[in-house]
C-alpha cells in the first residue's frame, strides 16, 4: 500500500500567487505587443487608403479636374499647404488639363442621427453653386439615413444647388427654389445634418475663397451643362 508521501507526489500543487501574476503579465505583454504591432503595420496602409479615397472624391466633385492644390486658412486668408502641413481643415483647388481652375473641393463634418457625417463637395464661387457631392463618412441607419449617398435624387439635388440665399431643407415635393433641398422621407435628421454641414462649411470658406479669387484676378472655367 502506497504511503502518504508517495500519494502526495502525484498531487499537483496549486500554483502560487507570484506564478499566476507572472503568467498573466506575460500574456498581457504579448497581447499588447501584438496589438501595437498590428496598429503600426496597418496605420500607414489605412492612411494611404484614406488619401486615395479623398483624391478620387476631389476629382469626382470637381468635374473635369486633372490636378489640384491644397489650401488652409491662415489669419482668414487662403494659404497654399504642402504634405507636411498639420492643419486638419483643408480645401482643394482643382485644375483641368489646360491649367484652368475648375472649382474648390470643400470637406466638412457634422453630427447626424447616429454619428459624424463626413462630406466633400465641389463649389464654384462665380455662380455661388455646388457642382458635386460625395459622402466620405457615414454610419447612419441602413435603409434610411444612408440614403444621403444612396438616394440618387437627393445626391443630384445637392450636386446642383445654389448656396445663396442660405441652403434650406423642405419637405419632399415642396422644392421650388434652387437653394432648397428635399428631405429624405424617414431620414429628416440626416438630411438636415447634410444641409447644416454645407452651410457651416460655406460660412467658413466662402469669403476667403472670394478674396483669393479677386486678389489673383481668377475666373473659373465655364460650367458644363
What pLDDT does residue 105 have? 95
Please report whether residue 94 resides in a domain: yes
- 220: pLDDT confidence band, cut at 50, 70 and 90? low
Q: Give the span between the Cα atoms of 206 and 121, in whole angstroms.
A: 13
Which of the two residues, 109 and 36, has the higher pLDDT score? 109
Please report whether residue 224 resides in a domain: no
Highest mean pLDDT among 50-54, 103-107, 215-219: 103-107
Residue numbers of the domain that contains 133: 61-215
- 203: pLDDT confidence band, cut at 50, 70 and 90? very high
Please report whether residue 122 resides in a domain: yes
Across residues 75-82, what is the average pLDDT?
Answer: 85
Across residues 191-218, what is the average pLDDT?
Answer: 89
Q: What is the pTM of this model?
A: 0.72
What pLDDT does residue 222 have? 46
Please report whether residue 32 resides in a domain: no
Asked if 131 and 124 touch (Cβ cutoff 8 Å), the reply is yes
Cell of 70: 491644397
H helix runs in the chain, sequence order: 4-9, 17-61, 147-150, 152-159, 188-215
What pLDDT does residue 102 have? 92
The pLDDT > 90 percentage for the chain reads: 32
Please report whether residue 206 resides in a domain: yes
Please report whether residue 141 resides in a domain: yes
Q: How many CB atoms lie within 10 A of CB 103?
A: 29
Q: Give the span between the Cα atoms of 70 and 200, in whole angstroms.
A: 20
In this predicted model, what pLDDT tens digit does every residue of 133-174 receive, in sequence order? 998 887 766 777 788 888 888 989 988 899 988 999 999 888
- 75: pLDDT confidence band, cut at 50, 70 and 90? confident
Please report whether residue 153 resides in a domain: yes
Q: Say which residue the cell 487608403 belongs to.
A: 49
What average pLDDT does the chain have? 81
Q: How many domains does the chain have?
A: 1
Please report whether residue 187 resides in a domain: yes
- 224: pLDDT confidence band, cut at 50, 70 and 90? very low
Amino acid at each position: 500500500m502506497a504511503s502518504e508521501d508517495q500519494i502526495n507526489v502525484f498531487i499537483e500543487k496549486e500554483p502560487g500567487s507570484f506564478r499566476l501574476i507572472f503568467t498573466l503579465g506575460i500574456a498581457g505583454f504579448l497581447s499588447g505587443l501584438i496589438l501595437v504591432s498590428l496598429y503600426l503595420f496597418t496605420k500607414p496602409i489605412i492612411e494611404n487608403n484614406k488619401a486615395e479615397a479623398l483624391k478620387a472624391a476631389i476629382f469626382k466633385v470637381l468635374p473635369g479636374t486633372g490636378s489640384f492644390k491644397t489650401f488652409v486658412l491662415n489669419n482668414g486668408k487662403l494659404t497654399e499647404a504642402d504634405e507636411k502641413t498639420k492643419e486638419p481643415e483643408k480645401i482643394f483647388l482643382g485644375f483641368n488639363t489646360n491649367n484652368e481652375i475648375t472649382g474648390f473641393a470643400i470637406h466638412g463634418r457634422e453630427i447626424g442621427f447616429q454619428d459624424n457625417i463626413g462630406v466633400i463637395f465641389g463649389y464654384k464661387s462665380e455662380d455661388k453653386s455646388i457642382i458635386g457631392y460625395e459622402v466620405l463618412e457615414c454610419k447612419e441607419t441602413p435603409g434610411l439615413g444612408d440614403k444621403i449617398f444612396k438616394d440618387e435624387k437627393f445626391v443630384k439635388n445637392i450636386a446642383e444647388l445654389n448656396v445663396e440665399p442660405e441652403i434650406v431643407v423642405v419637405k419632399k415635393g415642396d422644392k421650388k427654389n434652387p437653394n432648397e433641398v428635399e428631405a429624405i422621407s424617414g431620414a429628416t435628421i440626416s438630411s438636415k445634418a447634410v444641409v447644416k454641414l454645407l452651410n457651416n462649411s460655406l460660412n467658413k470658406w466662402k469669403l476667403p475663397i472670394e478674396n483669393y479669387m479677386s486678389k489673383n484676378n481668377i475666373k473659373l472655367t465655364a460650367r458644363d451643362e
